[in-house]
Structure 1
Amino acid sequence: MSVIDCDYLPTVKPQQFPRELAVLIVRKASAMAEAFEQQALDQLTKDAISALSAGADPRQVIRQMRL
């Protein structure tokens, strides 16, 4: 029952979330996170190599990359 006391509001029965669907969602999210992590690692490595090649001090690169 809602805060508003009326008969015309539909009663919503809580549904059980399908376990199989939850597992598939978790697997997909995990795969997406892994792909994103690899892309981030590649980009950070590329940026660091570029900065070091340009003559930047490694401590400066660490500070700029907030490592």
Structure 2
Amino acid sequence: MSVIDCDYLPTEKVKIPAELALLIVRKASAMAAAFEEQALDQLTKDARRAILRGTEPRRVIREMRL
């Protein structure tokens, strides 16, 4: 028993079937790829906008923490 008495937390271990685990991993991978693509698009758009405004590329690098 822990220091904090938490009877609302599940105590039994649930075995996730391999097929379900594989589907979860595939879904997480697809979600991560979509997020990566969105992040790349946004960072590129932000950098392009800054350069068009006349910001030095070195400053863009520094401000974007690249």
- TM range, normalised to the smaller chain? 0.7 to 0.9
Q: Which runs of 5+ in 1 are unaligned?
A: 4-11
Distance 1:18 1:56, change over 3 A: same
Distance 1:65 1:13, change over 3 A: closer
Q: Which blocks of at least 5 consecutive residues in structure 2 are unaligned?
A: 3-10
The structural deviation recorded for 1:22 is 0.2
What is the total number of aligned residue pairs between the two structures?
Answer: 58
Percent identity over the alignment is 64
TM (norm. structure 1) is 0.78
1:17 Cα offset (Å): 1.5
TM-score (normalised: structure 2): 0.79
Deviation at 1:13, TM superposition (A): 5.7
